[in-house]
Amino acid sequence: MSKEIFRHILGYCVGGTVVLILVPYGLYSAARYLDYLIPGPLIASPIIRIVISIVLAVIGFLFAVSSLVIQNVKGKGGPLEIAGIEISPKTKHLVVTGPYRFTRNPMLFGAGMLYYALAVYLNSIVAIIIVTLIMIFMLIFVKMTEEPRLLKDFGSEYEEYRKRVSMFVPWPRK
């Protein structure tokens, strides 16, 4: 197995563990133990709550998975860097197609929608607040770390892309 393939596998194992196991478990635990701070249901109707959860989860899943696939196929790299250490090889080409047409951070948007889906399913105002705080932190982190790297690696191509496409919410193009 080549070093690059190993790094891709490691990146997806580390990232997958954090995104799919640790954060949802933390969110579930926080809701379970802290919901007494803000009592009352988020959404009174279980049917409406479940429908909203499913819609958010599907949107999140589609954005997250399609962005990972296209980043590997078109960008020839992966998304994971922690404290300046590349876990998976960074992208070699700027990706501006697929979900990247709508948001510069479709993986983060997708994860956010999955976490909001879980918070709605748990019917927890505390969980909604926690997800919002996580998303704010992640957006600041991306702004401070990922954007400078992309500007350095892709220069004016990234600058033009940044002017046209929303950072997080998939709004229509500017």
Over residues 83-98, the pLDDT tens digits come to 555 556 677 889 999 9
The answer on pLDDT for 18 being more than 70 is: yes
Residue (of 56, 61, 54, 58) closest to 20 by Cα position:
61
What amino acid is encoded at 172 in this protein? Answer: P
3-state secondary structure of 38: coil
The owner of tokens 């191509």 is 157
Can you tell me the mean pLDDT for 25-29?
93
**Ranges 6-15, 104-113, 158-167: which has the least confidence:** 6-15
CB count in 10 Å sphere of residue 9: 13
> Residue 78 gets which letter from DSSP?
B
Report the percent of the chain where pLDDT is more than 90.
56
φ, ψ for residue 85, nearest 5 deg: -105, 120
Q: Which of 85, 89, 99, 98 is nearest to 7 (CA)?
A: 89
d(CA 34, CA 155): 45
What one-letter code names the amino acid at 165? V
pLDDT of residue 52: 98
Amino acid 26 reads: G
Which two three-digit tokens encode residue 28?
A: 């579930």
58-76: b (≥16 Cβ within 10 Å) or e = ebbeebbebbbebbbebbe
Does 149 have pLDDT greater than 90?
A: no
> What is the β-pairing status of strands 81-82 and 85-86?
antiparallel
Beta bridge partners of 81: 86
More confident of the two residues 138 and 15: 138
